[in-house]
Structure 1
Amino acid sequence: MGLRERKKEKTRLALLDAALDLFLEQGYESTTVEQIAGVVEVSPRTFFRYFTSKDHLALWFHDQGEEIMLDTMRSRPEGEPPFTALMHALRAVLSDLHDSTPEDSERFLKLRRLLDKYPHLVGQSVARSAETEQRLAGLVAARRGVDPGEDQLSHLIVAYGMSTMRVGFECPRHDGTMQEVVRRMEETIELAERSLRPGWDL
Structure 2
Amino acid sequence: MPTTLRERKKQRTRDALLRAAVELFTSQGYDETTVDQIAEAVDVSQRTFFRYFAGKEEAALALVEMTVGRFVEAVRERPPHEPPLEALRQAVLDGWDSINEVVESVAPVELYLRMYRVIESTPVLLAAHLRRSAEVEEDLAGVIAGREGLDVDGDPRPRLAVAVFSGVMRVTERQWSTGDDFSLEGIRALTADYLDGVGPALLGDWRTA
1:101-148 deviation per Cα after TM superposition (whole angstroms, max 9, x unaligned) = 5x5222223213312431221111111111111100111112222222
Q: TM-score, normalised by structure 2?
A: 0.77
Amino acid in structure 2 at the alignment position of 1:132: V
**Cα distance in 2, alignment partners of residues 3 and 192 from structure 1:** 48
SS of the residue aligned with 1:59? Answer: helix
Cα contact 1:19–1:36 (8 A) shared by 2: yes
**Cα distance in 2, alignment partners of residues 123 and 112 from structure 1:** 13
Counterpart of 1:78 in structure 2 is 80
Matched, 1:153 2:157: yes
Amino acid in structure 1 at the alignment position of 2:117: R
Matched, 1:191 2:197: yes
SS of the residue aligned with 2:31? Answer: coil
1:41-97 deviation per Cα after TM superposition (whole angstroms, max 9, x unaligned) = 123343234333211111123322222222112222334322222222212322223
Cα contact 1:15–1:36 (8 A) shared by 2: yes
**Cα distance in 2, alignment partners of residues 98 and 189 from structure 1:** 22
Correspondence list, 1:62-141, <5 A = 62-97=64-99, 103-141=107-145
**Cα distance in 2, alignment partners of residues 87 and 136 from structure 1:** 13
Cα contact 1:22–1:36 (8 A) shared by 2: yes
Amino acid in structure 2 at the alignment position of 1:134: E
Cα contact 1:141–1:147 (8 A) shared by 2: yes
Counterpart of 1:178 in structure 2 is 184
Write out the 4+ residue segments of structure 1 that deviate beyond 6 Å after TM superposition: none
Q: 1:79 to 1:113 in 2, by over 3 A?
A: closer
* Aligned residue-pair number: 197
Farther off after superposition, 166-175 or 135-144 = 166-175
Correspondence list, 1:18-97, <5 A = 18-97=20-99
- Give the drift of 1:165: 2.0
**Cα distance in 2, alignment partners of residues 27 and 77 from structure 1:** 42
Q: 1:107 to 1:13 in 2, by over 3 A?
A: farther
**Cα distance in 2, alignment partners of residues 160 and 134 from structure 1:** 13
Cα contact 1:97–1:182 (8 A) shared by 2: no
**Cα distance in 2, alignment partners of residues 170 and 108 from structure 1:** 16
Farther off after superposition, 156-165 or 170-179 = 170-179
Counterpart of 1:168 in structure 2 is 172
Farther off after superposition, 64-73 or 8-17 = 8-17
1:176-195 deviation per Cα after TM superposition (whole angstroms, max 9, x unaligned) = 12222222122222223665
Percent identity of equivalent pairs = 36
Q: 1:189 to 1:126 in 2, by over 3 A?
A: same
**Cα distance in 2, alignment partners of residues 13 and 78 from structure 1:** 35
**Cα distance in 1, alignment partners of residues 76 and 41 from structure 2:** 39
- Give the drift of 1:30: 4.3
| C-alpha RMSD of the superposition | 2.9
**Cα distance in 2, alignment partners of residues 150 and 44 from structure 1:** 48
Q: TM-score, normalised by structure 1?
A: 0.80
Cα contact 2:93–2:192 (8 A) shared by 1: yes
- Give the drift of 1:27: 4.3
